Amino acid sequence: MELAVISDSHIPERQQTLPDRFRERIAAADHTIHAGDFATSDVLDEVRDLANELTAVHGNVDPDDLGLPAVDSVTAGGVTFVVTHGTINPVAAAVDAAAVETAMERTDDGEITSFDATIESEAGLVLRGEEWADAIADTARARGRNEPGDTVVGVGGHTHVVEDTVHEGVRVLNPGSVTGADPAERATMMTVRAGDGEIEVTLHED
């Protein structure tokens, strides 16, 4: 079974559209995982229309009315993929909530129209490196105990940094930003072949 793994679309406040080659890969995959930050309901609808099946979670710039869970999972080929966004550092965000709002520009309806990743990063709000991997692996481990599957894989986004590592015994994937949204330097996604409890991961760039 092949899965398309994407995240951090950020349309339209940072980028305008999904790359055509990535749209084709999403349409061809048996299942698509999106690790959050669609930014608008239109983008969520577009990905749903492209995907044969979709597992998606709420990102920190997503409107509440998207109705997406903070954590979700899908099992394919004996592998359970546990998906969460890997959002901003909750402690730092609580201390400096003003920095979160300063980074965003909104319409009167509350829709985010632009986002300054530099403000968010300089305020120390973003989980990165070991902290980010800890959060994704811990979530995968906790959720995976209650899900079928021989193997548990954690999938996250938010940092726009490609990751494929084993963290404390858990395979952790971050496909980067599917549109190359700042601070990513290029558009990236992953395809994953899952079978017999094993996965084969391929990184794609546009």
pLDDT for 86 equals 82
> Which residues are within 8 A (CB) of 110 and not within 5 positions of it... i.e. 6 or more apart?
63
pLDDT for 19 equals 96
Q: What are the pLDDT digits (tens) for 110-129? A: 554 555 554 444 444 455 56
End-to-end CA distance of the chain: 23
Taking residues 2-21, what's their average pLDDT?
92
What is the CB neighbour count within 10 angstroms for residue 34?
Answer: 32
Say if residues 9 and 43 touch (Cβ distance below 8 Å): yes
Of the chain, the percentage scoring pLDDT greater than 70 comes to: 77
Angle among Cα 153, 171, 28 to the nearest 5 degrees reads 55
Q: How far apart are CA 129 and CA 156, in angstroms?
A: 12
Say if residues 164 and 173 touch (Cβ distance below 8 Å): yes
pLDDT band for position 106 (cuts 50, 70, 90): low
Q: How far apart are CA 190 and CA 22, in angstroms?
A: 10
pLDDT for 105 equals 56
pLDDT band for position 94 (cuts 50, 70, 90): very low
Just give the CATH number of 2-87+127-205.
3.60.21.10
Domain spans in the chain, listed from the N-terminal domain onward? 2-87+127-205
78-82, 99-103, 133-137: which range is least confident on average?
Answer: 99-103
For residue 112, give both structure tokens.
Answer: 């985010």
In terms of Cβ atoms closer than 10 Å to its own Cβ (0-12, 13-18, 19+), residue 86 is buried
Taking residues 81-109, what's their average pLDDT?
58
Listed as own residue / partner, the contacts of 39-44 with beta carbons closer than 8 Å and 24 or more positions apart are: 39/9, 39/10, 39/11, 39/12, 39/13, 39/14, 39/112, 40/11, 40/12, 40/111, 41/65, 41/66, 42/11, 43/9, 43/11, 44/68
**171, pLDDT greater than 90:** yes
pLDDT for 124 equals 44
Q: What is the mean pLDDT of the chain?
A: 83
Strands (DSSP E) along the chain, which ranges? 2-6, 31-34, 54-56, 71-76, 79-84, 104-106, 112-115, 151-155, 163-167, 170-174, 188-195, 198-205
Taking residues 17-45, what's their average pLDDT?
96
Say if residues 166 and 136 touch (Cβ distance below 8 Å): no
Backbone angles phi and psi of 107, in degrees to 5: -80, 175
84-93, 167-176, 191-200: which range is least confident on average?
Answer: 84-93
